[in-house]
Amino acid sequence: MTIMHANTDPAETVSVDYTALLEIYRSKNAKIGIIGLGYVGLPLSIAACDAGLSVVGFDIDAKKTDALTRGESYIKHIPGALTRTLADSGRFSATTDFSRLKDVDAIVICVPTPLSHHHEPDLSYVTDTALAIAPHLKPGHLVVLESTTYPGTTRDILRPILEKAGLKSGRDFFLAFSPEREDPGNPSFSASRIPKVVGGEGPHALELADALYSGFVVKTVPVSSTATAEAVKLTENIFRSVNIALINELKVIYSAMGIDVWEVIEAAKTKPFGFMPFYPGPGLGGHCIPIDPFYLTWKAREFELSTRFIELAGEINIAMPAWVVARLAEALDRQQKKGLNGSRILILGLAYKKNIDDLRESPALKLISLIEKRGARIDYYDPFIPVVPMTREHADIAGRKAIAFNAETIAAYDAVVVATDHDDVDYGLLVNHAKLIVDTRNACRRAGFDQPHIVAA
């Protein structure tokens, strides 16, 4: 391992037996406390326990901790077999009692970092978690933030809160940042198989964090500071946001020209260099790509810098649901000789990506809102989401239930909008019985169907 030494005081001393502490991590004897047992924290807990480490999972939601104690999964793409193995391993326990933080060696924070209504960073979950940790912080503790945020958060926000307890970062406890890199629903890349970037507040923190993650991930990538590690995560997601915006813009342009953007992409990606395929859709979803770029645009204002490229990409992606609705209205008018007002529309897929039950920032929710404002009646089907849970932005549709997906129900709708291309859908049944399909994911043609009543959007 190459340890990089930015922000280091050569005279720095520690108040604990650092050699013994480091050996605890290198020998995989450290007990890890993971705060936040959602889409990031739960897979991380599974990966650590699978590698033989002991984990205490913390969450403020007793329903989650109780479910894990029983060996039950509350995340669709994480099988119950994994959570049962976790519960039966003897190396995992879940609790809402934060006083148990004193019993662990490392504390890993995996809490949400959403945007406010004004597209500004909402770090309330991070600060609340820091305040919950502070009374239980002890000498030798390693604290790692994994939540995506702007450069400087670990140093300028998390560190001062923790130091109010009287202990000093780099001397008494150690602070690091390691951005989460989860890809929910991707069976090829579990948490343990994705390289982990790590940055520390000082060389000791970096070395400890590197030793911690080296115990259960395929590879670590040490960087010079927590701010650099924070910037790595934003760069990864901004890269995707900008390239998806580019292909979404090309989709609109090529559609006007009568050119199929999906065919263009398939041909272009045969070039063995200089091209990487990205795919259009109804908008961006998930907790990362729609949100993270705005963390950097907000922070850049502190330095009187504009982020025109990033913000333009955001504008293009945010406009996609409205473009899909326009295509839907146009197709209804052309093929059915009727308008959206009074039409019955079925949304196929609510999750932000296929084969998971994650609704965070899903463009399907925006589609429902926009279509209903046009006077249409909306139902949905999603094999992963039988009932719509409560969300911050779309509380009005919470509690709605998925329809039964069969020939009779499909035929009753004036149009079906494919918003999420789940694999567990009978696209043949859909194509054979739907009057009109507006496909935002090219799902029908990928399944081998290319009939005139299928419209790309």
Reading the block at residue 363, the tokens are 């463009």
What residue type is 28 in one-letter code?
A: K
- What is the 3 state secondary structure string of the chain? CCCCCCCCCCCCCCCCCHHHHHHHHHCCCCEEEEECCCCCHHHHHHHHHHCCCEEEEECCCHHHHHHHHCCCCCCCCCCHHHHHHHHHCCCEEEECCHHHHHHCCEEEECCCCCECCCCCECCHHHHHHHHHHHHHCCCCCEEEECCCCCCCHHHHHHHHHHHCCCCCECCCEEEEECCCCCCCCCCCCCHHHCCEEEEECCHHHHHHHHHHHHCCCCCEEECCCHHHHHHHHHHHHHHHHHHHHHHHHHHHHHHHHCCCHHHHHHHHCCCCCCCCCCCCCCCCCCCCCCCHHHHHHHHHHHHCCCCHHHHHHHHHHHCHHHHHHHHHHHHHHHHHCCCCCCCEEEEECCCCCCCCCCCCCCHHHHHHHHHHHCCCEEEEECCCCCECCCCCCCHHHCCCECCCCCHHHHHCCCEEEECCCCCCCCHHHHHHHCCCEEECCCHHHHCCCCCCCEEEC
Q: Report strand pairing: 344-348 vs 220-222.
A: unpaired
Q: Which residue has the tokens 């809102």?
A: 369
Whether 288 is catalytic is: yes
What is the C-alpha to C-alpha distance for residues 261 and 436, in angstroms, rounded to an integer? Answer: 20
Of 49, 110, 288, 444, the active-site residue reads 288
Among 87, 93, 27, residue whose Cα is nearest residue 55: 93
Q: What residues act catalytically? A: 288
